[in-house]
């Protein structure tokens, strides 16, 4: 019966996508979103209980309550004209130590945002143009990818109040880095090279510790099942794969919508979410206890919807840059068996 229900839902969703159906999720318009917003790296922040949406050219980070859809905005970032390019303003943020750490691509700054009350409390210049920012709990550092310079810039927080980040190291990642995932339990970070490889970086030595083939023509997003040690790699051409982070062995692959970029994983359901910007749909992929991938079905999204994040309770949030909005879904599939 469970298999039949999955099949019926999958057939319905695939049919809807085939006829160009409207997004099946609830659309949450962003403040100042009219004319489109450059959206990229969205994250769920447990400390805030909110989905953190760096809203590109609007000059704001928008915090979405995943239950009500209510939005609180934090201003003070760079602004630019309407459009969906995410090369300006704030496009990545991560939570750590009671703060949000965000990038501003226009000013090339790392920005420190206090969570209570939410406001900007500090800025520091970056050595290059930023992409992803991630908090590293194990070392109390902030890592910022700078792909134009093929490196990750490492910052530590100073002792002041509020603490000022200080640049302390630069990690060379030739051929990358694209995306960044922190695995605190194993003391590693993972990043893609633009093609064919994923690298593991030791958090303490800050050196590349392993290289794994991923077979991607264009390697993009990453997500981690930290408990079971599976790393998920997204290939822009329309493929997702799982890698065992202990052995580096590729375990399974699945065909997904084309135009893949950012992905996310729900550890409670054991589902991987893979939106395809070109196909305007998102694959929901089940991950077995052995790391095998199987597509449960595709949810209709919107053209250029390339980024996703998940919140507790099976709530999924997908960017809709052209509409200047975020699409909210509830996962319709049952959890995988542990």
Q: What is the largest CA-CA distance in the chain?
A: 59
Residue 100 in contact with residue 45, Cβ under 8 Å?
Answer: yes
pTM of the model: 0.92
- Domains by residue range for the chain, with CATH: 1-30+214-338 (2.120.10.30)
What does the pLDDT look like over 58-95, one tens digit per residue? 999 999 999 999 999 999 999 988 666 777 899 999 99
Residue appearing with tokens 């420190």: 112
Strand-strand pairing, 197-202 and 208-213: antiparallel
Give me 193's structure tokens. 């090279």
Phi first, then psi, for residue 12 (nearest 5°) are -60, -45
Q: How much of the chain, in percent, has pLDDT values that exceed 90?
A: 85
Can you list the pairs that 234-240 forms with residues at least 24 positions away whose Cβ atoms lie under 8 Å? 234/260, 234/261, 234/262, 234/263, 234/274, 235/260, 236/260, 236/261, 238/276, 238/279, 239/215, 240/272, 240/274, 240/283, 240/285, 240/293
pLDDT tens digits for the chain (338 residues)?
444 444 434 444 444 444 345 677 899 999 999 999 999 999 999 999 999 999 999 999 999 999 999 999 999 999 988 666 777 899 999 999 999 999 999 999 999 999 988 999 999 999 999 999 999 999 999 999 999 999 999 999 888 888 889 999 999 999 999 999 999 999 999 999 999 999 999 999 999 999 999 999 999 999 999 999 999 999 999 999 999 999 999 999 999 999 999 999 999 999 999 999 999 999 999 999 999 999 999 999 999 999 999 999 999 999 999 999 999 999 999 998 77
Residue appearing with tokens 């595709």: 298
Rg (CA), the chain: 19
């Amino acid at each position: 019966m469970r298999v039949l229900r999955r099949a019926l839902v999958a057939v319905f969703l695939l049919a809807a996508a085939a006829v160009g159906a409207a997004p099946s999720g609830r659309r949450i318009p962003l403040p100042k979103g009219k004319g489109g917003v450059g959206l990229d790296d969205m994250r769920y922040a447990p400390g805030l209980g909110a989905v953190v949406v760096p809203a590109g050219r609007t000059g704001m980070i928008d915090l979405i309550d995943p239950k009500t859809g209510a939005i609180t905005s934090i201003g003070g970032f760079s602004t630019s004209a309407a459009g969906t390019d995410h090369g300006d303003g704030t496009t990545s943020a991560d939570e750590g130590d009671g703060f949000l750490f965000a990038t501003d691509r226009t000013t090339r700054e790392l920005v420190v945002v206090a969570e209570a009350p939410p406001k900007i409390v500090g800025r520091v210049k970056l050595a290059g143009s930023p992409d992803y920012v991630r908090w590293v709990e194990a070392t109390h550092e902030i890592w910022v990818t700078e792909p134009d310079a093929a490196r990750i810039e490492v910052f530590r927080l100073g002792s002041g109040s509020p603490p000022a980040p200080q640049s302390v190291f630069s990690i060379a990642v030739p051929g990358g880095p694209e995306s960044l995932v922190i695995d605190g339990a194993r003391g590693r970070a993972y990043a893609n090279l633009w093609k064919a490889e994923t690298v593991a970086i030791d958090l303490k030595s800050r050196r590349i510790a392993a290289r794994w083939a991923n077979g991607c023509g264009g390697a993009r997003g990453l997500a981690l099942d930290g408990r079971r040690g599976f790393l998920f790699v997204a290939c822009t051409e329309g493929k997702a794969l799982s890698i065992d982070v202990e052995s580096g062995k590729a375990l399974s692959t699945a065909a997904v919508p084309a135009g893949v970029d950012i992905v996310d994983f729900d550890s409670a359901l054991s589902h991987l979410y893979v939106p395809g910007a070109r196909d305007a749909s998102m694959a929901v992929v089940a991950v077995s206890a052995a790391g095998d991938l199987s597509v449960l079905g595709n949810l209709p999204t919107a053209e250029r919807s390339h980024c996703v994040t998940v919140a507790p309770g099976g709530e999924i949030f997908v960017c809709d840059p052209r509409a200047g909005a975020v699409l909210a879904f509830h996962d319709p599939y049952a959890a995988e068996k542990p």
